[in-house]
Amino acid sequence: MQLRFIVAASLVTLTLSAGAQLPDKPIARPRITGISHIAVYTSNPAATEKFYLETVGAVKQADPENPRGVRYAVSATQFVEVLPLPEGAGINRLDHTAWNTDDAETMRRYLSAKAWKVPGQVEKGTDGSHWFSTTDPEGNKVQFVQPPAVLKPVSAPNAIGHHIIHVGFLVHNRAVEDSFYRDLLGFKPYWFGGMSDTKVDWVSQQSPDSHDWLEYMLTSGPSGTGIPANISQHNLGVLDHFSIGEDSVPAAYKILADGNRLNNGEHDSGPKVGKDGKYQFNMYDPDGIRVEMMNFHATEKPCCSSFTADDPAE
């Protein structure tokens, strides 16, 4: 009897020891289900509010993440977050871009397991959302947001569009950024092009679980990270931008023009077809962030490369 007890105890010890030495199960990356928002700074809150309410037609909301901020929503899951201009911001007006995920905490642990620097815990908004922030290889701040379990409907009848289809910002090194967005996060190629067929200025990559995309706005300025010393606030705002999808940009432009909604700031003289074959129209908020209306689908053959994934839609 005593011998059987000793053997049984030894087997238990061996089983526990073997189990303790098993490698941890890899953490699967949660889904990235599209753009959540872009967060920008304002030096003139009243003028910025007029632009996003009257020109863009978004709905003003309180900011569950930052009591000093304001949201301008175009749908229940997408918005522009406007924050007070921090001291020492210089010409920079972009705080961060943000992507929706179905599990912020697992995304945080996934990146941590890949040796990416992340905070020790997720934050929780007053609306029940969860999020955390990190930075990409060039120091751009990126958020991953888990929306509230129960979304409150947003009525934005005057919004010129209800789907933010891409965000873009200044990038120096395509390969370095790919190590994060493509290798770790699973973003997939969509289109690339430039002002000429021989130069790549823009690289578009869709998030892995939606058709929304990130656009690298490649700079020809000094290599490295950060904002080039010789760039103007206007030119930086051209690079740091977001795009609202349209079935027809010319029709959306007519709505803005006929409604006298373009008197709030700088904008193009009219719609034009971009190098990607899609109609677009550019407006600028009071601090120079570019707000682009873009057709969901191309009407002409794109330059430089073909589309390699499906277009987004309303």
pLDDT surpassing 60 at residue 12? no
Q: Do the domain assignments include residue 66?
A: yes
Q: Are 73 and 129 in contact (CB under 8 A)?
A: no
Q: Do the domain assignments include residue 6?
A: no
The whole domain housing 90 covers: 32-295
Q: Do the domain assignments include residue 192?
A: yes
Looking up tokens 């000093």 gives 68
pLDDT in tens, 147-175: 999 999 999 999 999 999 999 999 999 99
- How high is the pLDDT of residue 245? 98
| Mean pLDDT to the nearest integer, 307-313 | 96
CA 63, distance to chain mean position in Å, is 17
C-alpha separations of 194 from 160, 191, 200 in Å: 27, 11, 5
| Mean pLDDT to the nearest integer, 12-27 | 57
Q: How far apart are the first and last CA of the chain?
A: 74
The SS3 call for residue 72 is strand
Q: Do the domain assignments include residue 92?
A: yes
For residue 250, give the CATH number of its domain.
3.10.180.10
Q: What is the mean pLDDT of the chain?
A: 92
Nearest alpha-carbon partner for 267 in 248, 283, 288, 251: 283
The pair of three-digit structure tokens given for residue 25, joined into one six-digit string: 């199960």
| Mean pLDDT to the nearest integer, 105-121 | 98
- How high is the pLDDT of residue 199? 85
Q: Are 268 and 282 in contact (CB under 8 A)?
A: yes
pLDDT in tens, 119-147: 999 999 999 999 999 999 999 999 999 99
- Total domain count, the chain: 1
Q: Do the domain assignments include residue 15?
A: no
Give the span between the Cα atoms of 207 and 236, in whole angstroms: 24
| Mean pLDDT to the nearest integer, 204-209 | 98
Q: What is the DSSP letter of 271?
A: -
- How high is the pLDDT of residue 223? 55
Give the span between the Cα atoms of 284 and 291, in whole angstroms: 6
Q: Do the domain assignments include residue 25?
A: no
pLDDT in tens, 242-292: 999 999 999 999 999 999 999 878 999 999 999 999 999 999 999 999 999
pLDDT surpassing 70 at residue 13? no
Q: Do the domain assignments include residue 52?
A: yes
Q: Do the domain assignments include residue 75?
A: yes
